[in-house]
Chains A and B, each alone.
Chain A
Amino acid sequence: MEAFTTHTGRAVPLRRSNVDTDQIIPAHWLKKVTRDGFEDGLFEAWRKDSSFVLNQPERTGATVLIAGPDFGTGSSREHAVWALQNYGFKAVISSRFADIFRGNSLKNGLLTVVLEQKIVDALQELTEKDPKAPVTVDLEAREVRAEGITAAFELDENARWRLLNGLDDISITLQNEADISAYESKRPSHKPRTVQV
């Protein structure tokens, strides 16, 4: 995974709540067997509407998504995270994310930042008025900064450490292989098995 330290970019304000993963990337895109090439599927249905915010020329190249509450609800598809990243987003800000989406984003280096709704509102207002307004998401300082706005955010220290260093979870876990083997040797025999090995 790519490390995330700090990022500054222009933003896309998305004033919708409950943006589910079927909206982020519709199911027919899930037939692909790779992690890339999902950018054209991002918000596919809404992008057919020329007035949709992502279609505005001044939003081209924006890298920070400022979303409504309950972003990423619904299915566990990691493709939603890949689609946002393939399109060019580096960070998403919302007052509340669905659990599975949040977990997926942090495993891929897409920083999801939780801020109070009134701060999200302020960021949306700012970037609606001024599409060029830079928004900084600083993971080292745990802070979001934009003109007239400085807001601290929380992220658990372990997740932050892994993001800052771009660490692969599997390698970290395999350092504790002895713990896994010890646990396995104690499992009761009544636990189900899919095949005899």
Chain B
Amino acid sequence: MGRTLAEKVWDDHVVRRAEGEPDLLFIDLHLLHEVTSPQAFDGLRQAGRPVRRLDLTIATEDHNTPTLDIDKPIADPVSRVQLETLRKNAAEFGVRLHSLGDVEQGVVHVVGPQLGLTQPGTTVVCGDSHTSTHGAFGALAFGIGTSQVEHVLATQTLPLARPKTMAITVDGELPEDVTAKDLILAIITKIGTGGGQGYILEYRGSAIEKLSMEARMTICNMSIEAGARAGMIAPDETTFAYIKGRAHAPEGEDWDAAVAYWKTLKTDEDAEFDAEVVIDGASLAPFVTWGTNPGQGAPLSASVPDPASYEDASERFAAEKALEYMGLEAGQALRDIKVDTVFVGSCTNGRIEDLRAAASIVEGRKVADGVRMLVVPGSARVGLQAVSEGLDLVFKEAGAEWRHAGCSMCLGMNPDQLAPGERSASTSNRNFEGRQGKGGRTHLVSPQVAAATAVLGHLASPADLNDQSSAARTPAGV
């Protein structure tokens, strides 16, 4: 019988397989950041172990880094200690590190692909659940805990039980106003936050094949929000073109050998998945969340659901709790929800295409009175690219704040946070209670919806802007 993409990559990395034991899997790329690594380095130190493969390890700073005044000492002493701990550990063990101020610094899941380190058929791990992002290249990529970080540092392997596989097939043409973010939010609402638990997801079908690499990363990034540790997309010409010429892309004969291998990384026609979900791409619309888990979402044109409409008692209770926390009423139109803050950024939507999309919508318009819009590039390099295209000026002229790279308000470990009761439209990945700041209320949206929401002050899609009188749009140069 044929094998799925996930099974092929898995099999190619088995170091040891024995009856009654989990497979021992080789790890091709280990990404580190400051939050989940200090205790792992401590463990190595206590046991007197070195990092086994420095040439397969790379670190950056992202979760704690400020997005303002990055040339000044970090104000929060606890954040500062954590960043200094990573710098000290990297120096002591010899790990390549891109610190704040370095052009390659940024959100770890933006940095790997931009350097060309994320490649098809590799295994990629990081002490961060959004490592699933790298699956967009046909890599088997998943988040790990700190004990596993230590394990990979010491052995470059992980003992793992092989997950099941689930195909998520998206056929049909996505409507023009539907983005990768809308698609993945709709998938999570359909299968639930536990729907992918125990599976590696493979996104496939004509609608997926047409997506750019960056859109594919947005999809795979949120596999974890559907409960799956990993999500993958078979590599194709789009993938190869994206990698070619990057700093760590193979060259010459290695490039040819790599592409020949990458072309074998497709699910065989006679392979069987353990589960299958089919989605009609043409039926989708801009999608937002209304609740406090990423599976509590609905099309933007819908209303806040009535908890009483849920048959399952625990879902009903969860919806009641969510509405209470979010300060929403059942039946309220989602478009009527006013926001205080708009956040564009994160490993989900902080790449250059995302910034271009948001900029194209706010260009010549103004952020609504009383709304704060934060634009945080996913990496320093993405920020430079945006500046070279003048996008920073577009955002600033619209009244948005243009910041330095990092995780920022996605999880509010740095000073970029919501105040209690404040409401955001956010291009990030989690709408958990307090995620963006204590008492903060988060609606997950695409960059396009974020930008339109910033202009109108309530949840909105770009199409809603066309309904506005032309007076709302400031003439160019004014």
Query: Do they bind each other?
Result: yes
Q: Which residue of B lies closest to A178 (CB)?
A: B16
Q: Chain A nearest CB: distance from B442 CB in Å? A: 11
Q: Given A158-B20, A179-B15, A70 and B193 touching (CB < 8 A)?
A: yes
B82 and A31 contacting across the interface, CB-CB below 8 Å: yes
Contact partner of B433 (CB less than 8 A), chosen from A45, A77, A98, is A45
> How far is it, in angstroms, between the C-alpha of A81 and the C-alpha of B145 when the chains are bound?
10
Q: Which residues of A contact B117 (CB under 8 A)?
A: 192, 194
Binary flags per residue of B46-58, CB closer than 8 Å to A gives 1, else 0: 0101000111111
Contact partner of B54 (CB less than 8 A), chosen from A170, A174, A190, A197, is A197
Contact partner of B194 (CB less than 8 A), chosen from A73, A104, A183, A188, is A73
Tell me whether A50 is interfacial, beta carbon within 8 Å.
no
Contacting B at CB under 8 A, from A55-100, are 68-70, 73-79, 81, 96, 98-100
A76 and B143 contacting across the interface, CB-CB below 8 Å: yes
Q: Given A16-B318, A23-B433, A158 and B151 touching (CB < 8 A)?
A: no
Tell me whether B351 is interfacial, beta carbon within 8 Å.
no
Tell me whether B471 is interfacial, beta carbon within 8 Å.
no
Binary flags per residue of B252-277, CB closer than 8 Å to A gives 1, else 0: 00110110010000000000000000
Binary flags per residue of B154-184, CB closer than 8 Å to A gives 1, else 0: 1111010101000000000000000000000
B254 and A190 contacting across the interface, CB-CB below 8 Å: yes
Q: Which residues of A contact B146 (CB under 8 A)?
A: 78-79, 104
Contact partner of B250 (CB less than 8 A), chosen from A28, A107, A179, A190, is A190
B435 and A68 contacting across the interface, CB-CB below 8 Å: no
Q: Given A18-B293, A34-B39, A99-B229, A169 and B147 touching (CB < 8 A)?
A: yes
B248 and A100 contacting across the interface, CB-CB below 8 Å: no
Q: Chain A nearest CB: distance from B38 CB in Å? A: 4
Q: Given A17-B314, A192-B119, A176 and B144 touching (CB < 8 A)?
A: no
Q: Which residues of B contact A180 (CB under 8 A)?
A: 15, 24, 26, 155-157
Q: Which residues of B contact A196 (CB under 8 A)?
A: 55
Q: Which residues of A contact B58 (CB under 8 A)?
A: 194
A26 and B129 contacting across the interface, CB-CB below 8 Å: no
Binary flags per residue of B127-154, CB closer than 8 Å to A gives 1, else 0: 1110100000000001111111011001
Contact partner of B96 (CB less than 8 A), chosen from A30, A79, A195, is A195
Tell me whether A20 is interfacial, beta carbon within 8 Å.
yes
B129 and A173 contacting across the interface, CB-CB below 8 Å: no
Q: Which residues of B contact A68 (CB under 8 A)?
A: 314
Q: Which of A23, A75, A107 has the most CB of B within 10 A?
A: A75
Q: Which of A18, A35, A98, A196 has the most CB of B within 10 A?
A: A18
Tell me whether B321 is interfacial, beta carbon within 8 Å.
yes
> How far is it, in angstroms, between the C-alpha of A76 and the C-alpha of B223 when the chains are bound?
13
Q: Which residues of A contact B293 (CB under 8 A)?
A: 18, 20, 73
> How far is it, in angstroms, between the C-alpha of A187 and the C-alpha of B119 when the chains are bound?
14
> How far is it, in angstroms, between the C-alpha of A169 and the C-alpha of B28 when the chains are bound?
19
B147 and A32 contacting across the interface, CB-CB below 8 Å: no
> How far is it, in angstroms, between the C-alpha of A173 and the C-alpha of B147 when the chains are bound?
13
> How far is it, in angstroms, between the C-alpha of A34 and the C-alpha of B412 when the chains are bound?
20
Q: Which residues of A contact B432 (CB under 8 A)?
A: 20, 22-23, 74
Tell me whether B64 is interfacial, beta carbon within 8 Å.
yes
B145 and A107 contacting across the interface, CB-CB below 8 Å: yes
Tell me whether A33 is interfacial, beta carbon within 8 Å.
yes
Contacting B at CB under 8 A, from A95-125, are 96, 98-100, 103-104, 107-108
Contacting B at CB under 8 A, from A20-50, are 20, 22-23, 26-28, 30-35, 45
Tell me whether B67 is interfacial, beta carbon within 8 Å.
no
Q: Chain A nearest CB: distance from B291 CB in Å? A: 10
Contact partner of A108 (CB less than 8 A), chosen from B38, B147, B318, B434, is B147
B122 and A191 contacting across the interface, CB-CB below 8 Å: yes
Q: Which residue of A lies closest to B53 (CB)?
A: A184
B78 and A73 contacting across the interface, CB-CB below 8 Å: no
Q: Given A20-B293, A73-B194, A158-B21, A192 and B248 touching (CB < 8 A)?
A: yes
> How far is it, in angstroms, between the C-alpha of A34 and the C-alpha of B146 when the chains are bound?
11
Tell me whether B413 is interfacial, beta carbon within 8 Å.
yes
Tell me whether B374 is interfacial, beta carbon within 8 Å.
no
Q: Which residues of B contact A51 (CB under 8 A)?
A: none
Q: Which residues of B contact A18 (CB under 8 A)?
A: 193, 293, 295, 318
Q: A173-B151, A197-B55 given. 15 additional CB < 8 A pairs?
A: A22-B411, A30-B413, A35-B39, A78-B146, A78-B147, A104-B147, A104-B148, A180-B24, A183-B26, A187-B26, A189-B254, A189-B257, A190-B261, A192-B117, A194-B54
A residues contacting B by CB (< 8 A) are 15-18, 20, 22-23, 26-28, 30-35, 45, 68-70, 73-79, 81, 96, 98-100, 103-104, 107-108, 156-158, 169-170, 172-174, 176, 179-180, 183-184, 187-197
* 8 closest residue pairs by CB, A with B: A104-B145, A33-B38, A78-B145, A76-B143, A190-B258, A190-B254, A107-B147, A78-B146
